[in-house]
């Protein structure tokens, strides 16, 4: 299967500080990747580097075969990268519907499809973003990324701080996006147990370098690897 995202020898960080060390990563078309690692190991930095929001020192980033290494963040978004940051960054002073329509681009994902996937948002379409619960804001952040009709969706800690019932709902959506809709995703998650069951591949970062890459199901069953790099026991995937 052809690679949608291909990263080779990426060195990136902030200012003069180098956080990522020669990272190489491939995301095949239609597959999803769990990006795992303890705090401070470079997971968010890698997503920011893919978006063009980190300092680039070396290496290349290709999307659909085209090099985007020197593109500005807005150009990368137009090229097909959707971004759901940890902070969500929704427009708090706009309604749910305005949040969605303000950024929508033509394609299979429109406001109606987002409402079908997240009925809670349909119920709150006239509520301001700032009036939503944390879980609803996260749904809106995902929906807003989807109406851009991306080729690749990046999600940074999408379940952090959410109630278990909302986490389950979001994971079901991510599973559907990856397995049924064929949307390629890179999902940063602190808790392997949550994400290995909804992704195809898993990558572990340790001190800014890739120390493991392989099928998610195999990692979920590898208690020694999980304990060594993530400090957890065997995941239920």
For the stretch 163-214, pLDDT in tens is: 999 999 999 999 999 888 989 999 999 889 889 999 999 999 999 999 999 9
How many CA within 13 A on the CB side of residue 43?
A: 26
Residue pLDDT, tens place only, 149-164: 999 999 999 999 899 9
User: DSSP per residue over 112-124, as a string?
Assistant: HHHHHH-HHHHHT
* 42 closest CA partner among 78, 7, 77, 72: 7
Q: How many residues does the chain have?
A: 237
232 vs 82, residue with greater confidence:
82
**Cβ contact 195:230 at 8 Å:** no
Which residue's structure tokens are 């985007």?
68
The pLDDT, as a whole number, for residue 233 is 62
The mean per-residue pLDDT over the stretch 215-229 comes to 94
What is the per-residue pLDDT for 193? 84
Whether the CB-CB separation of 172 and 164 falls below 8 Å is answered with: no
The tokens describing 146, both together, are 């989807």
Listed residue (126, 124, 100, 127) closest to 114, CA to CA: 100
* The predicted structure's pLDDT at residue 28: 95
Q: Inform me whether the pLDDT recorded for 141 exceeds 90.
A: yes
Look at residue 53 and tell me whether its pLDDT is greater than 70: yes
Asked whether the predicted pLDDT for residue 77 surpasses 50, the reply is: yes
> How many CA atoms does the CB half-sphere of 209 hold within 13 Å?
4
Beta strands 152-156 and 55-63 are unpaired
**pLDDT score, position 93:** 96
What is residue 236's predicted lDDT score, i.e. its pLDDT? 46
Q: Which CATH superfamily is domain 1-69+153-161+170-237 in?
A: P-loop containing nucleotide triphosphate hydrolases (3.40.50.300)
| pTM of the predicted model as reported, rounded to 2 decimal places | 0.93
Q: Where are the domains of the chain?
A: 1-69+153-161+170-237, 81-150
Instruction: Give per-residue pLDDT as tens, 81-111.
Output: 999 999 999 999 999 999 999 999 999 999 9
């Amino acid at each position: 299967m052809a690679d949608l995202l291909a990263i080779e020898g990426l060195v990136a960080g902030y200012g003069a500080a180098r956080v990522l060390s020669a990272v190489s990563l491939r995301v095949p078309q239609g597959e999803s990747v769990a990006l795992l690692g303890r705090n401070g190991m470079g997971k968010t930095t890698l997503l920011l580097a893919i978006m063009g929001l980190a300092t680039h020192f070396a290496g290349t980033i290709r999307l659909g075969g085209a090099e985007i290494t020197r593109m500005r963040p807005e150009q990368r978004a137009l090229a097909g990268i959707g971004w759901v940051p940890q902070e969500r960054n929704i427009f708090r002073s706009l309604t749910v519907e305005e949040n969605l329509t303000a950024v929508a681009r033509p394609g299979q994902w429109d406001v109606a499809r987002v409402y079908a996937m997240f009925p809670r948002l349909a119920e709150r379409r006239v509520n301001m973003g700032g009036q939503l619960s944390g879980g609803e804001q996260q749904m809106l952040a995902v929906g807003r990324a989807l109406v851009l009709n991306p080729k690749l969706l990046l999600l940074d800690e999408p379940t952090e701080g959410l109630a278990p019932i909302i986490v389950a709902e979001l994971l079901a959506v991510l599973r559907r996006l990856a397995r049924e809709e064929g949307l390629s995703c890179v999902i940063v998650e602190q808790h392997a147990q949550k994400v290995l069951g909804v992704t195809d591949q898993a990558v572990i970062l340790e001190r800014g370098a890739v120390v493991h890459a392989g099928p998610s199901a195999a990692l979920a069953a590898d208690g020694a690897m999980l304990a060594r790099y993530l400090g957890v026991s065997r995941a239920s995937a």
